[in-house]
Structure 1
């Protein structure tokens, strides 16, 4: 593991014990969970679909997918996050695979062919997000879809993120990525893509002023 990857894993491991306290992370509030369940249902094909949940964190979206009859596989760089995800899915009675690994280049044991690849607020953490997009699309079955829940919530100053990870100053989408920039990166790689704005406070447990959206792209 590179020094940058190790420092990213350490950063998120430090947040693992409290991560689910955020309404949109833990989905503990029934209204917030219902809002995400409705959105996921609208983005997914008919169940059961094989879904690769990249940057799965504590597994909250994977759990909703499993409850909807899909077959999620989760990948996250932070071991303590993955440990929580495994416990969460197991406690709910699901035998889902949750793996420690680099979400930008998923490990072989995750699989090599999926109906859907899902990520939420992951791209800003990656040193090479456009390279990751190319690799992800290569894992999709014909007609498969990429579902990216993203946003732009900070201005990326040259020295921003120094406390995040070694090498974070070179991460091109630090602070998030706007929908138009993400679409521009995706268009040469996919058959079609659409943007769905996500300003609904029910999704976040609070009112948001920054840009929140989903891109659904078809290979």
Structure 2
């Protein structure tokens, strides 16, 4: 029997080749790329900081972060996603460190970061509350937690069903802004919710499900 972690890794490895075909993954369209760059500029400090991109995928947001002059570390469970992220930044002439590892327990040792960013990841976590607690502990005092999330279908982007047992994940269809705020609020000093669903440029077209960013001060 395949171990669940191995099945999850295999799923995202298989999705890696086509992952950037999704407009908000590859950021190939100029308006979509600009929309995400503008969001990151608004959230991140104007001076260079250390950013941990959890569940970095093929590195599209990491690329924007590095392009803005920040020091980025990306973590993803799927080796093929990490390979593509490394290649993407290298092709752009940008610096970035990418590590294969569990998003819930990033393989960065005792290192602390000024910003921890995660996009569309918490629905895949078997214990999201433990992961959130771990993530906040990786952020320097006064730093920022930025979670881009929503409430949607549980499957990924490869066109095949997600791993067996996915329906038992606590947040397998995503999580509402109110519920995520309730989970994060005890861990941080302040937070706000920014609705993102109305900005079609972010997604490559209109969306009808709930999409938002939770921005929290640690």
Per the TM superposition, whether the score is higher than 0.5 is: yes
Question: Alpha-carbon deviations, 1:81-130, whole Å to 9, x = none?
Answer: 11000000111112210111001110135x62000000000000000111
Q: Which residue of 2 aligns with 1:103?
A: 103
Deviation at 1:155, TM superposition (A): 8.1
TM-score normalized with structure 1 length: 0.93
Q: CA separation in 2, counterparts of 1:40 and 1:93?
A: 20
Q: CA separation in 1, counterparts of 2:72 and 2:44?
A: 12
TM-score normalized with structure 2 length: 0.93
Which residues in structure 2 correspond to 1:21-32 (within 5 Å)?
21-32=21-32
Where 1:169 maps in the other structure, the secondary structure is helix
Q: Which residue of 2 aligns with 1:159?
A: none
Contact 1:3 1:166 in 2 (8 A): no
Which residues in structure 2 correspond to 1:101-180 (within 5 Å)?
101-108=101-108, 112-154=111-153, 163-180=161-178
Question: Alpha-carbon deviations, 1:60-97, whole Å to 9, x = none?
Answer: 00000001011110000011111000000111112210
Question: Alpha-carbon deviations, 1:43-72, whole Å to 9, x = none?
Answer: 111220100000000000000000101111
Question: Alpha-carbon deviations, 1:15-65, whole Å to 9, x = none?
Answer: 111110111000011110000000011111122010000000000000000
Contact 1:59 1:74 in 2 (8 A): yes
Q: CA separation in 2, counterparts of 1:14 and 1:154?
A: 19
Where 1:174 maps in the other structure, the secondary structure is coil
Contact 1:47 1:68 in 2 (8 A): no
Q: CA separation in 1, counterparts of 2:17 and 2:202?
A: 22
Identify unmatched segments of 5+ residues in structure 2: none
Q: Runs ≥4 in structure 1, deviation > 4 angstroms? A: none
Contact 2:66 2:95 in 1 (8 A): no
Number of aligned pairs? 212
Deviation at 1:166, TM superposition (A): 4.2
Q: CA separation in 2, counterparts of 1:172 and 1:124?
A: 7
Deviation at 1:153, TM superposition (A): 1.3
Which residues in structure 2 correspond to 1:27-106 (within 5 Å)?
27-106=27-106
Across the aligned residues of Structure 1 and Structure 2, the Cα RMSD in angstroms comes to 1.7
